[in-house]
Structure 1
Amino acid sequence: MDVHCFDPAVSGVPATPTVGRTYAWAVFALTFGLLLSDYMSRQVLNAVFPLLKSAWGLSDTQLGSLSGIVALIVGLLTFPLSVIADRLGRVRSIVVMALVWSLATLGCALATNFGELFVARAFVGLGEAAYGSVGVALILSIFPAHLRSTLTAAFMAGGAFGSVLGMSLGGAVAVHLGWRWSFGTMALLGILLTAGFWLIVTEKRIGSDVRGLRQQRSNGQGIRTSLRVLINGLFSTVSVVCAYIGSGLQLFILGSLFVWMPSYLNRYYGMAPDKAGAAAAAFVMIGAVGMVLCGMVTDRVSRQQPSRKWVSAIAYCLISFVLLGIGFHVKPGALQLVLIGAGMLVVAGTSGPAGAMVANLTPTTIHASAFATLTLANNLLGLAPGPFLTGVVADKVGLHGALQLIPLMALLAAVAFSVGKANYANDLRRLNELRSAAKGEC
């Protein structure tokens, strides 16, 4: 049996912060600001879909690919770029990443045809690929350990806020100045934030924990494991694989709705791009709030019986299928918007249960890799193909018809979670036996 041991002292997070409180919060503000820029640059495209379609005569398939390519690049490159960032230094890597996505967003503004815009969007994904993991690692390294959960939650919530700002501000700018200025505004904001981060945050002031971690690794401390052991840990059971798959399939719906709601409101409700972007942003916020609320409900109902996390995930899938399925089959109007809003509240509710199940089913020493694998599944199974395939179907049956079909993915996600639930008890018992044996040998 392969066993890997872990030295708790080597956590990458110092027990005592290495920087002052004021400076730490300044770093947090700048890192959080760049996260907003990240998602604003990514989601501004959705608000200008109607204008791009009109200006260049693009098909819905082409529009969907412009969004899907970013999620695809992020999903594919998160692992390797995170490893490179750990070696080069987090501060230096963040500056390079932010500069890449900002300049790529400027390239979107200057694009003269679909091909150029597609390439520019691919570079947006390249810049953003590892920012989430590197940014949160940087923040956690300069704050006390007891703030870790709060800071992580606050940082990750920035994605929703950035999406809302990108769509609402991008739509408003597009109406008054044109779609190119929407991209240009996001690019300028990103460049200014990058310059501020580069001037204020330095490796010298916060890099001691990184150097210490490297020194410990060079001395042979910390995790001692092989690639084979890592892969075995990440895919050790049927239930953890089902958690990856179920989470990704359910986010197929969320990714499609995030991208296509502005266009849907523009086409079927006659909203101007700015109003459609603002209204779609409200649905994004509902989805973000729903993630938190569903996670809280799941923790409460599964406090005594952890297996209820699977039941919660299945319930969120089925409820979203019913609400969104009915919502997109009724005529446009107030009732439809209410049903879609209710569906958005639970459609991403599986994120919390899926994350908890992945944590339960993988060794503590590889949790970072496990969550990166979950992110990879979310992007490759959901966030990347969702917008693209919805656009392909929309070209054949119309956007309304395409959105009537995407709730079916919730049924596939429910099947995956059901298979995971059926295997969970046996898998967890076997893993606990292996963990106990490993502790005895370490």
Structure 2
Amino acid sequence: MHLPPPDARAGDDYLVGRGAAWFAFAMTIALMVFDYLDRQIIVSLFPHIKAEWGLSDSQLGALVSVVSVTVALCGLPVALLADRASRVKSIVVMATAWSLATLSCMFTRNYGQLLAARAVVGVGEAGYGSVGAALIASHFPARLRGALMAAFFASASVGSVLGVLLGGMIAARWGWQAAFGVVGAPGLVLALLYLKVRDYRTVALDPGREKAAQSTAGAARFAAFALLRSRTLLWACIGGAAQLVVVSAIWSWLPSFLNRVHGVAAENAGARAALVVLAGAAGSVVWGAVADRAGRRQPRDKLRVVAGLCLLAMAILVTAFAGPAFGLAMSPSAQFGLILAGGFVMTCTVGPVSAVVIDVVHPGVRATGASVLSLFQNLFGLAAGPLIAGGLSDALGLSTALAITPLFGIVAALAFVRATRSYESDLRAVQPAPPASDPPYPLAGAERAAPA
């Protein structure tokens, strides 16, 4: 059943009711957990795969990054289809595809086969974050979106925790291939249950936007115009991606760091690394709420808060990984405590960035607009982090690599500060207006912004 379009609600309220909204939220959260469980389980299997196949750290990093690359490349077409057709049916197809691809990983017999199977996992997951975020945002009032987006993307952290934790445990008992079979099957069940979620009616567009939404090429032009015209969207994408370089590098390589540097058994290293991921999940919710509160009087303040948190996370993590090399006396437990604190802060951008992007995108193309952010975050953040850290590890050692990658937090902070200059004017640019006054594409809605 299709609900009214998201711009048809009375005031800032639930689209149709609390019950339907929270059911949609719960189901979307559950699938997000398995999305990232299937994506991140590989990192706790690194020691086993490296020992069996003799891979370099760059090759291991590619097993994580390839998922994000295919997510980035396929996300825009998938979000385009979801915006103009059905959000719910698109999500059902995506969840089925990535679950089957995960199951196929258990039958691979060499690095090339596993890399290819992981790439297909990314094809299935493409667009899920942006389409799921758009569905949640459309069900709930705007005043709750920052915290809800933070909770939605925090569920990715929960999935990552389970992947890191379960992967090591399963591999220790039944071998690393079996881990993919255990985590792939539940996603198929959730995909069928998701058909019970109520979708909203596709939002009518003006002729300019309708033309842009009819093809991938048109959607690409939309993305280009959105980035060029909306400075907030551009700088939010840059900042979000830069901070995710830090997050993805730490999450991907921490189990190996604990195993190599401190001699922790692979399954125990995964369990300890899972604590850092869990701290990140909690932190993303906390900092999302803090940013929402900071932006109540002046919206740009939420971006200033996030910029400061990026610098704080950078300082903590650089101290944790570089401190011993510079003579800072630090026990293994003290070092892990600092890493845990940095993990709590470094996910500060997850909710606020998604909320900011949705704020400056027209309601009729929210999933497509969010996919622009997803493309940046996956291609230049989640894909780049493991590869950068892996390459630095091969050249300089893993400890040095993990001391360098947090410096990307400086780039993130600068981008968010720059975004404060245009955020409020871009918010005004997408306020509802009579259809007759809506100028033609590409100077409409999300693409129209006051000069920075």
Tell me if both proteins adopt one fold, taking TM over 0.5 as the criterion: yes
Deviations 1:77-110 (A, max 9, x none): 1110122345664454334322322222122111
Q: Offset of 1:313 from its aligned partner?
A: 2.5
CA contact (8 A) 1:167 1:277 kept: yes
CA contact (8 A) 1:82 1:134 kept: yes
The answer on 1:190 being equivalent to 2:216 is: no
Q: 1:323 maps to what in 2?
A: 316
Aligned CA RMSD, in angstroms, stands at 3.6
The answer on 1:75 being equivalent to 2:72 is: yes
The answer on 1:156 being equivalent to 2:149 is: no
The DSSP-based 3-state class of the residue aligned with 1:235 is: helix
Q: Offset of 1:116 from its aligned partner?
A: 0.5
Deviations 1:358-389 (A, max 9, x none): 35555565544333222221112211111011
- Bigger shift: residues 406-415 or 25-34: 25-34
* Alignment match of 2:257 (pick from 261, 264, 267): 264
Once residues 389 and 230 of structure 1 are traced to their aligned partners in structure 2, the CA distance between those partners, rounded to angstroms, is 27
CA contact (8 A) 2:149 2:355 kept: no
Once residues 22 and 231 of structure 2 are traced to their aligned partners in structure 1, the CA distance between those partners, rounded to angstroms, is 42
Q: 2:448 maps to what in 1?
A: none
Alpha-carbon spacing, 1:145–1:122, altered in 2? closer, same or farther (3 Å)? same
Q: 1:3 maps to what in 2?
A: none
- Bigger shift: residues 332-341 or 68-77: 332-341
Once residues 151 and 304 of structure 2 are traced to their aligned partners in structure 1, the CA distance between those partners, rounded to angstroms, is 27
Once residues 136 and 80 of structure 2 are traced to their aligned partners in structure 1, the CA distance between those partners, rounded to angstroms, is 17
- Bigger shift: residues 29-38 or 381-390: 29-38
TM-score by length of 2: 0.80
User: Which aligned pairs between 1:295-314 and structure 2 lie closer than 5 A?
Assistant: 295-314=288-307
Deviations 1:144-170 (A, max 9, x none): 869974765554332121111111111
The DSSP-based 3-state class of the residue aligned with 2:229 is: coil
Once residues 139 and 302 of structure 1 are traced to their aligned partners in structure 2, the CA distance between those partners, rounded to angstroms, is 21
User: Which aligned pairs between 1:112-131 and structure 2 lie closer than 5 A?
Assistant: 112-131=109-128
TM-score by length of 1: 0.81
The DSSP-based 3-state class of the residue aligned with 1:271 is: coil
User: Which aligned pairs between 1:7-406 and structure 2 lie closer than 5 A?
Assistant: 8-9=7-8, 15-16=15-16, 31-85=28-82, 89-135=86-132, 149=145, 154-191=151-188, 193-194=189-190, 197-198=191-192, 200=193, 202=195, 213=202, 226=212, 227=218, 231-331=224-324, 333-359=332-358, 361-363=360-362, 366-406=365-405
Once residues 239 and 151 of structure 1 are traced to their aligned partners in structure 2, the CA distance between those partners, rounded to angstroms, is 21
Q: Offset of 1:335 from its aligned partner?
A: 1.7
CA contact (8 A) 2:134 2:370 kept: no
Q: Offset of 1:254 from its aligned partner?
A: 0.2
Once residues 6 and 258 of structure 2 are traced to their aligned partners in structure 1, the CA distance between those partners, rounded to angstroms, is 54
Q: Offset of 1:64 from its aligned partner?
A: 0.2
Give unpaired runs (5+ residues) of structure 2.
213-217, 325-330, 439-452
Q: Offset of 1:420 from its aligned partner?
A: 3.4
Q: Offset of 1:183 from its aligned partner?
A: 1.3
The answer on 1:441 being equivalent to 2:434 is: no
Corresponding pairs, count: 418
Once residues 366 and 41 of structure 1 are traced to their aligned partners in structure 2, the CA distance between those partners, rounded to angstroms, is 28
